[in-house]
Amino acid sequence: MRSYIIKRLFYSVIIAWGILTITFVLLRVGPTSPVDRYILNIAARGQDVDSVRQAIEARYGLDKPIIEQYLLYMGNLLQGKWGWSFSASQPVMDLIGSHWIYSFQLVLLSSIFAIIVGVGLGMLSAVKQNTKIDYAASIFSFIGISIPGFWLGLMLILVFAVYLGVFRTYYDTNYPIWSLENLRQLILPVLTLGIGSLAGYVRYTRSAMLDNLRKEFVTTARAKGLSERTVIGKHVLRNAVLPLVTIIMFDLGSIVFGGAYLTEIVFGIPGLGQVSFNAIFANDYAVVVAVTLIGTFLVLFINLVTDLIYTYLDPRIRYD
């Protein structure tokens, strides 16, 4: 087991390094340059730009050859120096440190929401297969999967904030994370982000349950004289959970910089998504690489955890 984990970690490092390099090269070799932004600003204020271009490049060490920049960056990284974000003018880690919580709470809450409701609904429609409830649930899940999150977000704002005025139109960071007000203002974002995953979970849960509902051990369980609740909730679910874990975990990894970002934009939540994308538009490679790395490690970590959960959930699986 341990050796397996070690091997996995080793792989992770390799993968992370690969991704780091790809990102760095993309950013620094591409046609755009961090300086462009300065140039534009300076030009807009009616100032001669050509005289300062090299100056700025020099200021941020962009005039050095790309290889040298890469090695420099790697060197710092290995010393745990994540570098300086010149678009946010603060250390990259401070930037991330002050924003991650907003993405985290969003993703966490929406996942919890999606899992509870999704799995619950999925079980329900599986048990009530081919009933009205089942059809309703599956239609709902289709809709949930197909509705573009960012658009849904806009519509929710339009209806609930602009017209009905039930919610604020934007996210207010003045409320402490643990305050009720904060939870309240997260309702729409969580709904927006959660609905897609939720819909997916409904379908996966349903099919996973159905796969197992017809299994012989279910009849055995019934023959034991167990209550239907125990039969479904214990014997069936426990087996159905296995495929679900993979899907949920994978989903978790993928929404952080996908749906979460769009949701953050729509609702003005200053999360990591916002940070990373602004960094991209500012060509701020230190931030972009850092965020990408974090995202990568997140995914890798999730994969590892998934496998470990698996060994726990399914005694038939052993890694070595």
Partner 1 sequence: MTVNTILEVSNLKTWFYTRRGIVKAVNGVDFDLWQGECLCLVGESGCGKSVTALSLLRLFDSPPGKIVSGKVIYDGIDLTSCPVKRIRQVRGKEIAMVFQNAQSALNPVFTIGDQIMEQINAHGHYGRAETRKKALMLLEEMNIPQAENALTMYPHQMSGGMKQRAMIAMSLSCDPAILIADEPTTAVDVTIRAQIMFILQELMSRRNMSIIFITHDLSLVREIGDRAAVIYGGKVVEIAPVDTILTAPAHPYTRGLIACLPDISADLKRLPSIPGNTPNPIDLPQGCTFHPRCKDVMDICRSTEPELVNIAGVHKVACHLYDNAGVDRA
Partner 2 sequence: MAKDKLMKWTGALVAVSMLVSAMSGCSAPAPKIADNFIEGDVSGGEAETLNWILAADASSFGYVGYTLESLAGYDNKFNIVLRCLAKDIEASPDGLVYTINIRPDLKWSDGSQVTSEDYVYTLKNLMFSDWLNYNYKDDWQEDVDGVKRFVVPAVVDNTTFTVTRKFVQPEFIYTLYDLMPYPKYIAVKYEGDVDAFTQAKEFNSLSYTGNLGPYTFKEWLKNDKFVLSRNPGFFMGRETGAPFFSEMVIKLFGTSAVMQAALEAGDITQCGIEPQNVAKFKKMERINVYTIPTRGYNIISYNQRNNGWEGLRNKQVRQAISMAVDKDTIVKKIYLGFAEPAYSFIPSSSPWYSDDTVLKLGVEPLNSKQKAIEMLKAAGYAYGKSGDRDVLLGKDGKPVKLLLVTTPGSDVVESMSMLIKQELADIGIEVEVKWVQWATLIRQYMSNKVPGSDQEARYNNGPGAISEEAWDLTLMGHNTDPLAPSGSRVFFASDGGLNSFGFFNSKVDELFAKIRSQEGLDKEDRRKMYQELSRVISEEQPVDFITYSRGNSGFQRNVKGIEPGINMGYNYYLWHFE
Partner 3 sequence: MTELRAEQGGKSRRPFFISHRLVGYYWERLQKNRLSLVGLGFIGFLALTGIFGPFVVQDPQKTDFNIKNLPPLGFSIQESIYDIRTGEITTTIIQSRPEHPLGTDSKGRDMLAMLVSGARISLLVGLLATGIAIFIGAFLGVLSAYLGGWVDNALMRFTDIMMTFPFFLLLVLIVFIFGPSLAIIVLVIGLTGWTGAARLIRSEALSLRTRDFITASKALGASDTRVIFNHLIPNVSSLIIVMASLSIPGVIMAEAALSFIGLGDPMSTSWGTILNTGQHSLDSAWWVAVEPGIMLFLTVLSFNFFGDGLRDAFDPKASV
What residue ranges bind partner 1 (CB under 8 A)?
214-217, 219-228, 235, 238-239, 313-316
Lookup: tokens for 7: 């091997």
- Taking the least distance from each CB to partner 3, the nearer of 31 and 65 is 31
Report the residue from 1, 6, 9, 14 that binds partner 3 according to the rule CB under 8 A. Answer: 14
* Closest CB to partner 1 among residues 59, 234: 234
What is the rounded CA–CA span in Å between residue 61 and residue 135? 61
3-state secondary structure of 85: strand
Nearest to 118 by CA among 300, 15, 252, 289: 252
**Which residue, 231 or 286, is less far from partner 2 as judged by CB?**
286
Please tell me whether residue 127 binds partner 3 under the rule CB under 8 A.
Answer: no
Residue type at 123 in one-letter notation: M
Near partner 2 by CB under 8 A: residue from 69, 76, 138, 278: 278
Is 201 a residue that touches partner 3 (CB under 8 A)?
A: no
The answer to whether 285 and 83 have CB atoms below 8 angstroms apart is no
Listed ranges 64-72, 85-93, 106-114, 140-148: which one lies at the site for partner 3 (CB under 8 A): 140-148
User: Using the rule CB under 8 A, is 45 a contact of partner 2?
Assistant: yes
Q: Give residue 75's identity as a one-letter amino acid code.
A: G
Q: How far is CA 116 from CA 122, 197, 306, in A?
A: 10, 11, 18
Q: Report the partner that residue 222 touches, choosing among partner 3, partner 2, partner 1, none (CB closer than 5 to 8 A by kind).
A: partner 1
- Which residues contact residue 198 at a Cβ distance below 8 angstroms, ignoring those fewer than 6 apart? 113, 114, 117, 118, 121, 141, 144
Q: Does 184 bind partner 2 (CB under 8 A)?
A: no
CA angle, corner 312, sides to 310 and 315, nearest 5? 90
State the number of binding residues for partner 2 (CB under 8 A). 52
Interaction between residue 142 and partner 3 (CB under 8 A): yes
Q: Which does 226 bind (CB under 5 to 8 A by kind): partner 2, partner 3, partner 1, none?
A: partner 1
Q: Minimum Å distance from CB 235 to partner 1?
A: 5
- Helices H / strands E in the chain, number of each: 14, 2
Q: How far is the CB of 52 from partner 2 (least distance, A)?
A: 5
Q: Which of 147, 218, 226, 309 binds partner 3 (CB under 8 A)?
A: 147
At its nearest, how many Å lie between partner 3 and the CB of residue 223? 26
Report the distance separating Cα 174 and Cα 25, nearest Å: 38
Of 2, 11, 8, 25, give the one whose Cα is nearest residue 289. 25
- Beta bridge mates, 84: 91
Residue 84 touching partner 2 (CB under 8 A): yes
Among 35-43, 63-71, 148-156, 309-317, which window interacts with partner 3 (CB under 8 A)? 148-156
How far is 242 from 264, CA to CA, in rounded Å?
31
Judged by CB under 8 A, the residue of 257, 263, 269, 275 near partner 3 is 257
Q: Are 143 and 199 in contact (CB under 8 A)?
A: yes
> With binding defined as CB under 8 A, does residue 286 bind partner 2?
no
Please give the structure tokens belonging to residue 146: 């197909």
In the chain, what is the straight-line distance between the N-terminal and C-terminal CA atoms, in Å?
6
Positions that interact with partner 2 (CB under 8 A): 31-33, 36-52, 55-56, 58-59, 84, 86-91, 95, 98-99, 157, 161-162, 165, 168-170, 172-174, 265-268, 270, 274-275, 278
